[in-house]
Structure 1
Amino acid sequence: MLNPRDQAEGLRRILMPTKACAIKSLGARLAQGKGYLLPDLVKEIDRSNIHFIDMSLDHTQELPLALLNQHQIVLKLAQSSESIKRAFGIIKLLAKSPENRVFGIIVSAQNPETAKTVFRNLKHASRAFSQIQLEIMGFSTLSNSWVSPVVMDSPLVVTRMITRDPIFTTQFGIAPTQ
């Protein structure tokens, strides 16, 4: 049986949002410098104590058990269906725990539009996992190891215009002013 203090700590960790998201700050730093070489970015990720998984490689990788304790993970994936399936498998596996997790995504694609599409599809597929947050960090072209920032288009805000029907009265019997 767990110590009540351990239970309370676990509940606080689950219910409280993450304090500072190093993935967002790394993504912002990547955008300010307009890119990183992948080995330099991996060193920076490692210095921030974030686990880096390269899903763009064709060989199978063993996931360490320590990954289950990580709250921030960076996944690098290719635009191939196998790479996307493996990345989603990791997201789905880690979504089974109730802890909040942030995934930084680096997509190896032909162009930024393809990287945005891969990220959007992955985010759409993982929307059922409310405690999972995906952040796009950047993309690298298939031919080199330079990681460029990706700026996602913000969704259009649709404003609804409320019109009042002159015949309408509320349940309290107050007629709208004209």
Structure 2
Amino acid sequence: MILLQRTLKVGLSLLFALGLSACGSDSKEEDAAPCASANAVVAEATFDSLWTNVFSGRCGTCHGVNATGTLGGPDLRTQEAFHANLVGKTVNDYPDWDQAQITLGGCLTTPLINAGKSSESLVVAVLDASAVSVGCTVKPHKDPPQSICISDGSLANLKKWIDNGAPE
């Protein structure tokens, strides 16, 4: 039984990695490489600006209906869906999100976006490798296969937006 679980976990992880190999490639932010460019376009700390400059070309590519590796997870293809499916939600809100259930096992009750508390938001933890731990282990999206990279300024504005209550 243990061998079967281990084999299944490895197989799903490989499928997840293969399915996400193109994720993050539609970057709209001009500072995608290098990440902390001094000439970066920095979004305002508003949801509209963050959606337009940071999230719209990145998240929905991999986090959408029928997306390989994120099947059963939140649909992040539109601005409305992004907000509705992340703010105040946890991995437990997506019980069919198999990959997250495996890779984020210790994070099942940590909010994806915890309005008012960026330091307790999984979205910040996966985008900022230097973020204070949210109490569980996450794989930063800056690493392959996602290779998502946002500027320090945009990351600061994301945190500010969340700390301000993550308003629409």
Output the TM-score relative to the length of structure 1. 0.36
Output the TM-score relative to the length of structure 2. 0.37
> Relative contact order (C-alpha < 8 Å, sep 6+): which is higher?
2
